[in-house]
A and B are shown apart, each in its own frame.
Chain A
Amino acid sequence: MNQYREITENGLWKQNSGLVQLLGLCPTLAMTVSLVNGFSLGLMTALVMAASNASVSPIRRLVPTEIRIPVYILIVAALVTLIDLLMHAYFHSLHAVLGIFIPLIVTNCIVLARVEAFAAKNPVVPSALDGFMMGFGLALVLAVLGGVREIIGKGTLLSGIDLALGASAKAWVITVLPDYHGFLLAILPPGAFIGLALLIASKNWLESRKQAAQPMTPSPAAAH
């Protein structure tokens, strides 16, 4: 049980791929113009990661070391294509918005990194959990970054939710700042860099405050 807790903590906070490992920055920067965009791409990534970790783990002793990378890539690419096709068929409008960034999940280094670093050495269930939690941690970062950029840039929240959940969800869109002119910088690429930098800074600040609060007790995770 303890192991699962640690995997979850690592994925969501301690080793968060968006804020700590800084892997997978391409979608982080490009797709976070709104909360819905950011979170849906993050969720796709989490699904791909869970599935690829779960499929690599059982075959980890079957694959000779020399060709493990090509085989892993093959598995990840097949899974991504599969998700791409399914989304194209059943979530067409969301697929149109995320566009090229769905197939690009293949090249997201966080996917291969977790396959190689975790799934290739661990049993199926922890591997799947690790993949999902790492991806979900990224999804949360994308959601927060997307949400902040959306509020500052357009003054709304959850715009585009109808693309994911159908036209009836359009009523969920929140206008946070009515009569807002919009601060375009937040939506444009520089806003992504500045936003991510501020998020990383806030995480580091939270950590350092936590450390300052309990200066002498060495945490059990420190040995790790």
Chain B
Amino acid sequence: MKFSPFFTTNTSVSVVMLKVMLALVPGIIAYVWAFGYGIVVSLILASATALLAEAAVLQLRKRPVMPFLLDGSALVTAWLLALALPPLAPWWLVVVGTLFAIIIAKHLYGGLGQNPFNPAMIGYAVLLISFPAIMTQWPAPLELTSAKLSFVDQWHYIFNRALPTGIGLDAMSSATPLDYLKTQLMLHHPIETIAQAKFFGTFAGKGADIVAGAYLLGGLYLLHQRVISWHIPTAFLVTLALISGVFHLVNPAQFASPLFHLFGGATMLCAFFIATDPVSGATTPNGKLIFAAGIALLTWLIRTYGGYPDGVAFAVLLMNIFVPLIDANTQPRVFGHSK
């Protein structure tokens, strides 16, 4: 392949992206084990949409198509978005979200390296505020449901919204643990009672906590490979654990435990894969700490007091806005210059 000089400049990007995707594989395997093959369909749909959209926009912008397409950044965006969506989301939801992420959030702002907001999270936020009913409807973990859908059944559901005869929507879907926690707290039930619900696992949602563990594993691989630095994941997880821990100690009936926050929702995915996006996140070491701590604080606030069950996407986008400010005020002092 002769794409020089572009190819050489993009090699580093594509190696990084490849490693990120590799690190996501354990999470995806756990996901399939916990919720079935539907997620694979979502991943393929999102990837295909992302590549087509990326190619089309590059063509329109008169940029070289192949090198940018092969750098893998569009694929990573697509994967992160697909993993954040409910696994049996209808096909058009995945397509609309991915198109928004690639065309509007990434390319209208100037393409790779220029986008101020995390494209996958923009796609997620757009879908969440536009289709809240679908976005908060998750399938029950396979372990718990009698209505086990085969791969073909899940395929049918994704493309036609048709369930096999004899299986009702109620049998296969459930609220997410975060959502359930919120609605039950509103009815003034204490957390001990709420956590008795059958879809609560060891730490957080049954099945979902295993997936979170697998993301953690992938994240450690990224740290080991020095694809990401320790600052963002550590600051994010520690801050989230601290703030939820303090409130949990004060009133355990009203505030969920730190473990629930760490292994519930999109926490782990955010810590290692979303907040660590090098383009839309802070770049200085101290800046990264502030940036990640801010996301953790906002995530906890939105989960506890906000109108939507999980707050990761909004937290990341809000902190993206502050990145220029954080970076400008945390520049490391150049040796020999006083501040």
Contact = CB atoms under 8 A, between A and B. Distances in A.
Interface of A: 181, 183-185, 188, 190, 194
Given A181-B131, A183-B130, A190-B126, 11 more contacts: A183-B96, A184-B129, A184-B130, A184-B131, A185-B126, A185-B129, A185-B130, A188-B129, A188-B130, A190-B129, A194-B104
Contacts of B132: 184
A185 B131 CA distance: 9
Contacts of A188: 129-130
A194 B108 CA distance: 11
5 interchain residue pairs of minimum CB distance: A184-B130, A185-B130, A185-B126, A183-B130, A188-B129
Contacts of A181: 131
13 contacts: A181-B131, A183-B96, A183-B130, A184-B129, A184-B130, A184-B131, A185-B129, A185-B130, A188-B129, A188-B130, A190-B126, A190-B129, A194-B104
Q: Which of B104, B130, B131 has the most CB of A within 10 A?
A: B130
Nearest to A191: B130
A185 B128 CA distance: 9
A181 B131 CA distance: 9
Interface string B94-130: 0010000000100000000000000000000010011
Interface string B185-204: 00000000000000000000
B128 to A, nearest CB: 10
Q: Which of A181, A185, A190, A194 has the most CB of B within 10 A?
A: A185
A190 B131 CA distance: 14
Contacts of A184: 129-132
Nearest to B104: A194
Contacts of B131: 181, 184
A39 to B, nearest CB: 25
Nearest to A184: B130
Interface in B112-165: 126, 129-132
Contacts of A190: 126, 129
Contacts of A194: 104
A194 B104 CA distance: 9
Contacts of B96: 183
Contacts of B126: 185, 190
A203 B131 CA distance: 31
A188 B96 CA distance: 17
A184 B125 CA distance: 12
Nearest to B90: A181
B28 to A, nearest CB: 28
A196 to B, nearest CB: 13
Nearest to A187: B130
Nearest to A181: B131
Nearest to A183: B130
A194 B117 CA distance: 14
B61 to A, nearest CB: 13
